[in-house]
Structure 1
């Protein structure tokens, strides 16, 4: 027992020590947790304050550039100038800070710089994004010693949004049947999808059950789908409907809301039937859409046609004169106030003289020799009176000489006229030209081909422009285009009476070479295009546009450069149709001669509503089609034939055909921004998009 003496005391001391250690540990953990919590709160607060700095800088950028007419090609230089002035202001306010930097906690904008430290072009972008401009904004904040620095990329551009979509409208988009799109679609007010195409044949409304539309993204240079492509952008998520049936009623009660039914579900039969479209819809406020006004854009380009010296005052005068007197007053202003800026080509020469007919007296036998005794008048085969015959011969030869001189004068005038069209933009001459319409391109005037195609080089056609290229495929006498006048076709589509007995050649004669249109053109009247035309052009048309049996093929610059295209911006409706329908689709889009024969390298924009048909006709486009008003499209798959006995069209089994057999295909062409940059319309609204936030490690510089 003596050995156990004091053990209780040691045990108590040990327990006291152990409990003390546990208490210290708990206290340390509590204090550490509190400190970590406080530090974490400080870090979160500093991040939020830094983000507030980013938001203020982005708001300053938007306020500086929005609501101003900015030339797209000059936006990069303006942004570079803005960043230089902005950063200088930051430095003046306190060595990179701002006036509020003295307070703690504090935040500040560190810098706003071009993403490429040069022209502010967007980094690593392709397609339309390659012509955006990019700024990198850096901001930092500090709360009780916790400092955080954030960085964000801001992309800006001033191009109208319609050029960024394969198909769309600021109004209601209605698609019946199975067209195929590569690129993105836009539906500003509403989107209505059906698996059934409507058409009119022999005056009767018909329908054909097909499939739902196909939509694929564009592929990047690496062959991978682009993240910003292959989407349906909708302005109103509550007005997206789809369904099965012959037509949409006045309401959409027979159809299903995309976000309420199985189209948007993770599984279900409709996802396959609709080709997964429900998973490719993104809603954006329509206020973000950068729109254009055709008349305003037209007058902008008139100002550009004046040359480098034109400014805002000239633009105001042009606007005022056009508002009071229309195109005629505008041309009068240009002629009176800016005569040296233009080559005044006048009207296209026309041969008004007619070849004289051979008189009847010269068609008969010649008179007998005057030295011989004249035959009796009643004798058989008696010749004409020698004096009368000689007089008729002299008069005919004089008439022929007059006609040949008229032809020679016409050919000389025509040569000068063609030379004038080819000299637009040439060094030492007026940069633009004015022609009194109608201007007709055919066999006699086969080309508008500018010497230089720049921002200040324009051809103004005061009147109508007609392009009558050589025919493609079938002639216009088949009379089988009745289906193209679909229900409510106010903008695009033909009717049964549209066949032109003269054919699309017009006066092109036997020349089978395509017409050539290379330049920037302003048309105060209407425009007609038929047959084969090779293009590299931007055309603004105040009136309506009629594209009948057209093959619009982009000019090839050479090498691996992409083909050019036609950008046509119309203030009136665009009628797009085939006089002779039922073109075969062959192996499908991109395969065989059928593909090349009916492809249109074009972006078409109408300020009106439009109705498109790919039921009897086949339209394959590299470019896009956009309408400011409502846009309706009906399309089927495979080759189409007439069934006169049943008074309808016959179609192959639709469910067994793939998207490459679609009769209406639009393959978006992103190279339009590069090839037509100088002539594209300006807008007074900057589209601003922001990239993800990036938290910079401590010690990173202002550029990140």
Structure 2
């Protein structure tokens, strides 16, 4: 009996020890897992902190550089008069930038590296322009790997309007479902939005769309810079506007201050940077003089350049005629048997070309090549110009143009060009794409009118209009039956002139979000959509469209900074 009791007690002891061991192992395992999780959490926290530290350093470096450039007398106060002096100030193209250069300062203060990619990536002629593309970067630790956070910035003495996806220095009117896929919006005075969509029938009848066209929208990182946040909205569809007296007229009593309560509101704030404007005529004279070989950077031609560009009594057309008489422009000889395109393409391109139509209209139907050694040369046209591409193929235009008159673009066109127009510009029934990996920068002194582009086509995944479109006056854009996916931007400075078919000065956009079924060549059936990518006008701001045009861009006497998106590699 005692032996049985001893055996039971022995079994109990063994069982107890086994249970204790199991619990000990479980506790040890739990402790080990907890320690490992704590270590992983610590590593993750350190990785996140490392990334945010690098990101913050990059933002602070960009902000310091931007502040440095904000001085209105920046170039003069730093003694920068040539591109080589500009590079020396930045400290780029040096293995070890000095401590007094911007690259040296940003490296010492923030650990940020600065690399010049101007020529390597964009073929920018850095010996003759101030435009620079720079990569700011800083490494950070991600687990056992070292990664890099990077932001590409563009330093340019270009005017402010080139920073925005769309905008106006005066009034901005956005009717319907325009979508800003990338980039910021600017309104120098006030902005108006509505869910209406106006369009003009082929017979000229002004028509307000009968159905909710959607409200303007943008991505979360898009900033709407509106003066004093003066934004007004109307959601009464066909009552927001009325058509009469040859123009669409705003029903002011139906526009309430602020964004509609039931709509997604973008980030709206006052622009803190000064708006750097351009003088269109002065800019045009600058292009004429530099195209003719007279540069402010050359000691031999500097004085002549300054005297001529400062002569306010001489309009640009008179300057062009004078340069031709001096032999600095080559006249394009034409006759009834030879097409203009053939004459232009066969001409040597060692000088700018002067095509004098004496104020009459010239129509170009075929490819135009105004390049020398792969660089855009200038074609100067005295008269109205119509570039009419074919409907079943594409006409290619390479080279920069100055048009002393009106410009019309129609048909299928592929352009690598900067175009300056002293009159009005109209783009109708057209598909405009880039060529050679580049696009179009178009600047018009007169009004800009874009309509009937890719009519009744359904939205696609890729842009169908590559370029930046600016007018010194006002502009009206129609995308109801049309479909425009613009890679670049739209800006109407506004000068008091009313936009085409509108009662406001500035930029007026009419867009529908959804599908349109035609009836007798006009919008017949409206099928709305809540999908932003179904908008019939999408703006995707891309600063590369601007950088690619190099010397064709308008320039001012100040340097500004345009930042691209943050990248992690």
TM-score (norm 2): 0.66
CA deviation map 1:395-447 (0-9, x unaligned): xxxxxxxxxxxxxxx48x98554311xx32xxxxx34222223684645x532
Specify whether residues 187 and 66 from structure 1 end up closer, same or farther in structure 2 by C-alpha distance, changes over 3 A only: farther
- In the TM superposition, what whole-angstrom CA distance separates every residue of 1:129-184 from its partner, at most 9, and x where no partner exists? x9566999xxxxxxxxxxxxxxxxx9954222322222111111111111222122
Contact 1:602 1:622 in 2 (8 A): yes
Q: Are residue 330 (structure 1) and residue 315 (structure 2) matched?
A: no
SS at 1:621 equivalent: strand
Residue of structure 2 equivalent to 1:288: 274
* Contact persistence 1:637–1:662 (CA under 8 A): yes
SS at match of 2:372: coil
Shift of 1:78: 5.7
Is the CA contact 2:116–2:133 (under 8 Å) kept in the aligned structure 1? no
Which stretch has the larger CA shift, 312-321 or 189-198? Answer: 312-321
**Within-5 A mapping of 1:362-377:** none
Is 1:679 paired with 2:544? Answer: no
Match for residue 173 of structure 2?
174
Deviations 1:541-592 (A, max 9, x none): 111112221111111x3xxxxx3211101111122222xx883333x222xx
Residue 233 of structure 1 corresponds to: 225
Could you tell me which residue of structure 1 aligns to residue 215 of structure 2? Answer: 212
**Hey, what's the Cα distance between the residues in 1 that align with 2:166 and 2:422?**
22
Aligned to 1:39: none
1:664 lines up with 2:544 in the alignment = no
Cα distance change on mapping 1:118 and 1:250 into 2, 3 Å? closer
Q: For the pair shown, which has the larger CA radius of gyration, 1 or 2?
A: 1
Deviation string 1:447-470 (CA, Å, 9 cap, x unpaired) is: 234123548x32222223321211
Asked if the contact 1:536/1:554 (under 8 Å) is kept, the reply is yes
- Measured against aligned partners, the alpha-carbon deviations of 1:506-542 in whole angstroms (never above 9, x if no partner) come to xxxxxx5422211122222222211111111111111
Which residue of 433, 456, 462 maps to 2:353?
433
Contact 1:72 1:158 in 2 (8 A): no
The Cα shift of 1:111 comes to 8.5
The answer for the alignment partner of 1:463 in structure 2 is 383
> Secondary structure at the residue paired with 2:373?
coil
Residue matched to 1:477: none
Return closer, same or farther for 1:173/1:638 CA change in 2, 3 Å cut-off.
Answer: same
Q: Which runs of 5+ in 2 are unaligned?
A: 1-59, 119-130, 138-152, 242-248, 495-505, 564-569
Equivalent residue in structure 1 for 2:434, among 554, 564, 569: 554
135 and 197 in structure 1: CA distance in 2 versus 1, 3 angstrom threshold: closer
Match of 1:244 among 235, 239, 259: 235
Of 623-632 and 240-249, the range deviating more from structure 2: 240-249
The 3 A distance-change label for structure 1 pair 320 and 673 is closer
Q: Which residues in structure 2 correspond to 1:605-616 (within 5 Å)?
A: 605-616=470-481
Report the counterpart of residue 304 of structure 1 in structure 2: 290
Aligned to 1:525: 405
Select 2:525's aligned residue among 610, 633, 651: 651
CA shift digits 1:628-661 (9 cap, x unpaired): 01111111123334568xx99533342x442222
Equivalent pair of 1:618/1:664 in contact (CA under 8 Å): yes
Measure how far apart 1:329 and its partner are: 2.3
- Deviation of 1:679 (Å): 1.6
| 8 Å Cα contact 2:442/2:467 also seen in 1 | yes
- Which residue number in structure 2 is paired with residue 635 of structure 1? 511
Counterpart contact for 2:344–2:368, Cα < 8 Å: no
In structure 2, the CA distance between the partners of 1:642 and 1:63, relative to structure 1 (3 Å rule), is: closer
The reply to whether residue 350 of structure 1 matches residue 336 of structure 2 is: yes
Q: Distance in 2 between matches of 1:553 and 1:57?
A: 33
Q: Where does 1:469-508 land on structure 2 (aligned, <5 Å)?
A: 469-471=389-391
Partner of 2:199: 199
Determine the structure 1 residue equivalent to 2:122.
none
In the superposition, relative to structure 1, how do residues 415 and 541 fare at CA in structure 2: closer, same or farther (>3 Å)?
closer
Distance in 2 of aligned mates of 1:335 and 1:78:
37
Contact 1:72 1:157 in 2 (8 A): no
Q: Which residue of 2 aligns with 1:589?
A: 460
Q: Report the structure, 1 or 2, having the larger strand content.
A: 2
Contact 1:470 1:532 in 2 (8 A): yes
Question: CA contact under 8 A between 2:356 and 2:383: conserved in structure 1?
Answer: yes
CA distance in 2: counterparts of 1:552 and 1:173, whole angstroms: 24
**Cα distance in 2 for residues equivalent to 1:584 and 1:642:** 7
CA contact (8 A) 1:243 1:254 kept: yes
Alpha-carbon distance, 1:608 to partner: 0.7
Query: Matches of 1:548 and 1:281 in 2, distance apart?
Result: 33
- Which secondary structure state, in structure 2, belongs to the residue aligned with residue 62 of structure 1? coil
- In the other structure, the counterpart of 1:564 is 438
Kept after mapping to 2: 8 A contact 1:470/1:513: yes
Q: CA deviation at 1:627?
A: 0.4
Q: Measure the CA separation in 2 of the matches of 1:64 and 1:111.
A: 26
State whether residues 236 and 284 of structure 1, in contact with CA within 8 Å, keep that contact through their aligned partners in structure 2: no
Residue 161 of structure 2 corresponds to 162
| Cα root mean square deviation, aligned | 4.5
Residues 356 and 381 in structure 2, CA contact (< 8 A), matched pair in contact too: yes
**Aligned partner of residue 288 in structure 1, secondary structure:** coil
Residues 326-349 of structure 1 show CA distances to partners (whole Å, capped at 9, x for unaligned) of 344213321344x1x433324x33
In the alignment, does 2:308 pair up with 1:318? yes
CA contact (8 A) 2:341 2:364 kept: no
Deviations 1:112-134 (A, max 9, x none): 9996467598xxxxxxxx95669
Give distance in 2, aligned partners of 1:131 and 1:668. Answer: 19
Q: 1:541 aligns with which of 411, 421, 433?
A: 421
TM-score, L = length of structure 1 = 0.54
Query: Aligned partners of 1:564 and 1:206: how far apart in 2?
Result: 37
Q: Distance in 1 between matches of 2:132 and 2:169?
A: 23
Question: In the aligned structure 1, how far is the partner of 2:87 from the partner of 2:223?
Answer: 32
Does the CA contact (< 8 Å) of 2:240 and 2:254 recur in 1? no
The answer to whether structure 1 residue 574 and structure 2 residue 448 are counterparts is yes
Mean CA deviation greater in 530-539 or 458-467: 458-467
Change over 3 Å in CA distance of 1:256–1:57 after alignment to 2: closer
8 Å contact kept, 1:113–1:135: no
Deviations 1:479-523 (A, max 9, x none): xxxxxxxxxxxxxxxxxxxxxxxxxxxxxxxxx542221112222
Asked if 1:419 corresponds to 2:406, the answer is: no
